[in-house]
Structure 1
Amino acid sequence: MSSIANQTLHALGKRLRGGLLALTAALALAPGAALAQNMFAPALHVNDQVITEFDITQRMRFLEVLNVGAADLRAEAERRLTEEAVQRFHARRAGVRIASDDLAEGLAEFAARAELDTEEFIAQLAGAGVERHTFRDFVEVGLMWREMVRARFLPRVNVTSAEVDRALSVSAIRGTQRVLLSEIFLPSDPEFAEPVGEIIPQILAIRSFEEFSEAARQVSIAGSREQGGRLEWMEITRLPPQVAAQVRDASPGTIIGPIEVPGAFGIFQLRATESRRDIPAERVKVDYKRLLLPGGRSEATMERLSRIRARVDMCNDLNAFARDLPEAALTRQEALVRELPQDVALELSRLDAGEISANMVDEGGALVVLMLCSRTLEREEPLSREQIGGQLRDQRLNQMADNWLEELVAQAEIRRP
């Protein structure tokens, strides 16, 4: 990097950091979005269907019951409802209907995942403010879509004996990698759009480890900035799939990103790789806690974070720092890494059990504190050839279905009132 570019980066970094405290203070004081006066007012039009504020609220509650850890729950609810509206539109055009017996079986199958019968599950939903028809509509459109996907793609899917052999050869233990990464996190807040927009191209143009580390020291908002953004050796299975896919075949020096997470853009540089045998990534499970501290990156919140880091060694210790906060501010979740939101998976991948991350700010302006409680291997019985073949077939069907749905959503007429 030239001395002129380095000076520019340093100046932009000062601008970025200088405004950070003012922005987070403003976020802390900003009022929440007003509730819609008419819950049945249209929020979205998707082809010939209307999605109301009530529909969105219902889906958000349903997602909360299902422990969907979306960074922006409303956006996730709108996305899913939009996709389902598109699925229902095309199912009806194709004449797909779900018989009452098949729908009842689908409802029972879904409820059984929670070890409940249908009425017990509906009662649980009602306790969370989710109405019966919300659950029913969700299952019905899923059954419609499954029928359409199987009719369209199943005849095209052929899993060979050789493919099953290859899958069986890595189903228990396979070779994986561990990597050395450096990171830079830049705020995605609108106030910083101009300097961040100038900084990102300069970072992507970096060609040496030293320049990347110097850039991290100057502009990164992550705690690793003091170490030049350098992280310790990390198993590639601990990375979120979106990052792991780019890292796996990259060579040292490659810069990856920017990857958007709540409140920030993440940029990574691969410093080294090491091949080794490890467990399958899809079986890695994490148990973690999330604490939302109001005030974003304000001085008071950062002081509170310092006390947490000094006094918390185990996940249960975190409870003491949530006593004066709403019950929803502290949550605990256990999930496979591949099921986590990308931003959460990325942060947890950097932690060992008992360690804390606080690099994210949620959509409400709260500082997101993540603590890893444990990282374990999900045990499973050896799979038969038939089961492996079924999994490969389902994977291909799901990929085809996802691609098709993406096309249909892109072609749909979607607008806001």
Structure 2
Amino acid sequence: MRHFPSVLGWALMAGLALGPMAPVQAQSAGGFSPVITVNGLAITGYEIAQRARFMELLGAKGDVRKMAEEALINDRLQSWKAQTLGITPSRDAVTKGMAEFAARANLSTEDFLKALGEAGVEGQTYRDFVASGMIWREVVKATYGGGRIQISDAEIDRALAIAPPQGTEPEPPKVLLSEIVVRNFPGRDAETMAKARKAAAAKTEADFAAMAKELSSSPTASKGGRLEWMPVTALPPEVRETVMSMSPGHASAPIQTPNSVSVFFMRGLDEGGPLTPQTQALGYATLLLGASGSPEAAAWHAKAEAEAQRCDDLYSVAGTLPPDRLERVDGARAGQVPADIARILPRMDIGEMQVVARGGNDLLVMLCDRGRALNAAVGETGPSREATRDKLLNARVGDMADRLLAQLRAEAVIVRK
């Protein structure tokens, strides 16, 4: 289901407070006859009028009818894709989704529907809106789910580096970008977004540069949209998160920026210098395998190599061993790591294992992560690795969902009558 900023909850409540409105008349909006078809799926004038009114209640400004048309076209594309995948939301799921959305305005579903009705919006319009969002979520999950989107430890380290804890000044990553900025004139939202989607479909830097000269309103258009190296912290927040989820050689999805829609192509990425011993924190795990050279130690070592790709996997590997044979250490600073382990960790990659001898036993060591150290004594705080992973994953999924929708629009047969 779509996620709206909380400010729209207030806008919705304000819109509903505008007072009763006469029901939208079907004949005044083109009736119940199709006025647009999308891959054979019809959109009526009445649906457009209803969606426009609903969007007004959500605080939409500008050419709301045009925005409603575009939103309904997207809904039909998403429904068409869902049909090809055999996806249909259950009635109970839609009912639950309606209740969750209504709760954002501190209303029950019944009170929400009553308020919408008084403002001229039918309950079916609201149900269709919620169902469409749920359908798209399931389409995206079916298309990109199942672990097909992975966030690497290096990406998490890079993301954490751009939001350093208080009291540290690490060098932020630098990016080499090209830009296409499509200016958005009043009443031309659909045209603007169409140009931006065309730019987002660029496969190569040369293609992107050619489109920049054709489409971009930025002064960089004459240079194919090329920008110089810049720290990622210099980018606006709405751009930074998307850029940090990109990899070189790819274009971003369209990004809404003030009075325009922007698309970026990443030509290069410099992750910055290595962390210093003073700012570096290492996370690692150790597993006591057994006596050095024993069959037991060899067997546990082989099991770990076969089954563990990251530190979390060691918990299942060591499932039948006494708990004290597996130890996990997070955020260890220089001087806090035992000497025998400290000698090997700097040369290891995240997820790599090595065995050291300790007191007649073999000790398996795995590097879990390498990041910025936080000093709680001086009040340093920072996002957790899991929270950062989730944030990057959501951004990646959102970007791929935008690309999928752009592809569906590019391939669709849309007929306006």
* Range class of TM-score, shorter chain: 0.3 to 0.5
Structure showing greater radius of gyration is 2
- Normalised by the size of structure 1, how large is the TM-score? 0.45
Please identify which structure carries the higher helix content: 1
- Structure with the greater relative contact order (CA < 8 A, sep ≥ 6): 1 or 2? 1
- Normalised by the size of structure 2, how large is the TM-score? 0.45
